[in-house]
Amino acid sequence: MVIPLFPLETVLFPYTAIPLHVFEPRYRELVLYCLENDSPFGVVLIRSGREVGDAEPEIYEVGTLARIGRLKRLSDGRFQLLAMGEERFRIQNLIRGEAPYLKAEVTVWRDYPAQNQENLTALTESLRSLFLEFLRGVLEPMGVQVNDLRLPDDPVSLSFVLAGTLQGSLEFRQYLLELQDTGERLRLIYELIQSAAMGGELRQFDPSHWQEYVSRN
């Protein structure tokens, strides 16, 4: 599959949304292409370079397909839109020069099948409960009720929805996006929420030692 790419200084997860203000001419053309061809575009995190004005920023290989949801076209040609994250992809080949924006040949990037479905289901339920309890502790003192909040039952969907709420570094969020082990992603999110609930601090993220990323001091 060949898709246009929209490099950003953020990580978009499946099942989450991102608002975009599109003003550069090349990305206006990208939006028009997607509308005319009913095509998704790829949101990829910039590894080095700038989001605005950089013709060829260095990007990560794994990103998320995004489809245009709400759209408002302004009188000067700019767009305000809400992009909805779908499934992940991995770039196989970058295509330059065919359009003002980057394009890429991509393949779908999915989690591996769970080795122990029973353990994964138990972890999913524990994380759902922990997250709701954490939200209640944060929001209910402010008068916001969370009793009606509905979270996904599916482990993969839940992991991405909750990952989208975390405020970790971009490198850490990209690591969560690239993981193909649902259980590891759920466990890492569980540890982070648990640490936040206990007033812990987050250390500099190291993918090879992610357990040490959580500090309860």
pLDDT at 54: 56
Phi, psi (5° rounding) for residue 131? -65, -45
**Long-range pairs of 134-138 with CB within 8 A, sequence gap ≥ 24:** 134/193, 134/196, 134/197, 137/197
Residues 6+ apart with CB under 8 A from 136: 146
pLDDT at 203: 43
pLDDT at 17: 94
Please state the separation of Cα 184 from the chain's center in Å: 16
Mean pLDDT value across residues 101-124: 94
- For 166-192, how does the pLDDT look when each residue is reduced to its tens digit (9 = 90+)? 877 899 999 999 999 999 999 999 998
Query: How does the average pLDDT of the chain come out, rounded?
Result: 86
What is the rounded CA–CA span in Å between residue 55 and residue 5? 12
Question: 58 versus 65: which is more confidently predicted?
Answer: 65
* pTM metric for this prediction: 0.85
Q: In the structure encoding, which two tokens stand for residue 144, read together?
A: 């916001």
- For 82-91, how does the pLDDT look when each residue is reduced to its tens digit (9 = 90+)? 999 999 999 9
Domains within the chain, CATH numbers bracketed: 2-108 (2.30.130.40), 117-215 (1.20.58.1480)
How do beta strands 79-95 and 17-22 pair?
Answer: antiparallel
What is the rounded CA–CA span in Å between residue 97 and residue 84? 27
Q: In the structure encoding, which two tokens stand for residue 120, read together?
A: 């994964």
Mean pLDDT value across residues 95-101: 92
